């Protein structure tokens, strides 16, 4: 199994990024996450921070001493090549259920999307709740999950003018992506529902249970159920249905 490196570039004096030659797909994500584990182990004795996006892994060197990025890049290339042919060690993956209330009160853009996409409300909800979405990485806002797997028929462009404030838990569609706003923030995506779970807790360690490599499925719930979950301040959901 080859780790095909597209390029390694630097970001300032103390950070480098390894960009892989990979398509955006769950299998590629597995490879990326395995490479990330390799790098995390390699740098475990050093003060370094590692995070990733679709096809890139960024390493920031946090200690005060000067880092030779060129030397690090050379080490990384040979490290990744050495491990290229080792058997795959599967990354643990959890499937999460995410309750969403799609009622009008929580879904200001749902009607508009139904009209534009020529779908009934039930059809839209069915298509949104059917897939097992892959969590690719966290970005944009603390705890915001970049999800893959949105049904093509639900693609819808971002709003021209973002809302100044989108409520916590808003479930939205923007372009070819869907996601959940873990906190109140400005937002340009189209809001189709709300999730009552506490997705990100700054005082918990780790602050979120939703990780890259996991999958999630949206489950439609009633407004009453949404309220019950909101009050219980949970971060996970177990469906009462069979």
Partner 1 sequence: MIKVLHPGFQSSYQDLGRLGMAKYAVPQSGVMDRYSANFANLLLQNPADTPLIEVCLAGPKLLFETPALLAVAGLEAQVFINQIPVPLHKVLSVKKGDILEVKQVTKGNHLYIACKGGFLTEKVMGSCSYYEAICPSTQLAKGKLLSIQELDASTYQQRPSHVRIRYAAKKLENSILDVFEGPEFFQLDANQKRQLFHQEFHVSKNIGRMAFQLEETLPNQLDPILTSPVIPGTIQLTPSGQLIALMKDAQTTGGYPRILQLSEFGIAQLAQKKQGSLVKFRQIAYF
Cβ 10 to partner 1, closest distance in Å?
5
* Contacting residues toward partner 1, per CB under 8 A: 9-15, 17, 24, 47, 49-56, 58, 60, 62, 64, 69-70, 137-144, 146, 183, 185, 200, 202-203, 206-208
Closer residue to partner 1 in complex, CB, 1/62: 62
Cβ 137 to partner 1, closest distance in Å?
8
Closer residue to partner 1 in complex, CB, 14/228: 14
Q: Edge-to-edge strands of the sheet including 145-148?
A: 95-100, 215-220, 133-138, 145-148
Q: How many CB atoms lie within 10 A of CB 223?
A: 14
Q: Which residues contact 82 (CB under 8 A, 6 or more apart)?
A: none
Cβ 24 to partner 1, closest distance in Å?
8
Cβ 222 to partner 1, closest distance in Å?
29
Closer residue to partner 1 in complex, CB, 63/104: 63
Cβ 119 to partner 1, closest distance in Å?
27
Closer residue to partner 1 in complex, CB, 145/171: 145
Closer residue to partner 1 in complex, CB, 63/151: 63
User: Tokens 């049904």 sit at which residue?
Assistant: 151
């Amino acid at each position: 199994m080859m780790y095909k490196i597209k390029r390694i570039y630097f970001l300032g004096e103390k950070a480098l990024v390894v960009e892989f030659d990979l398509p955006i797909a769950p299998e590629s994500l597995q490879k990326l996450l395995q490479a990330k584990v390799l790098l995390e182990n390699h740098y475990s004795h050093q003060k370094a921070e590692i995070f990733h996006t679709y096809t890139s892994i960024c390493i920031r060197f946090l200690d005060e001493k000067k880092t030779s990025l060129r030397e690090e890049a050379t080490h990384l290339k040979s490290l990744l090549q050495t491990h290229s042919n080792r058997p795959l060690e599967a990354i643990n993956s959890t499937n999460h259920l995410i309750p969403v209330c799609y009622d009008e009160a929580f879904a200001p853009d749902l009607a508009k999307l139904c009209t534009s996409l020529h779908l009934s409300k039930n059809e839209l909800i069915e298509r949104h709740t059917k897939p097992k979405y892959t969590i690719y990485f966290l970005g944009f806002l603390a705890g915001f999950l970049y999800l893959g797997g949105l049904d093509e028929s639900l693609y819808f462009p971002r709003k021209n003018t973002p809302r100044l404030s989108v409520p916590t838990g808003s479930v939205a569609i923007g372009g070819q992506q869907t996601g959940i706003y873990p906190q109140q923030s400005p937002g340009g995506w189209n809001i189709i529902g709300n999730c009552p779970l506490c997705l990100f807790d700054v005082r918990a360690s780790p602050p979120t249970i939703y990780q890259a490599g996991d999958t999630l499925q949206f489950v439609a719930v009633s407004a009453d159920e949404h309220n019950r979950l909101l009050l219980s301040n949970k971060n996970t959901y177990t469906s009462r249905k069979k």
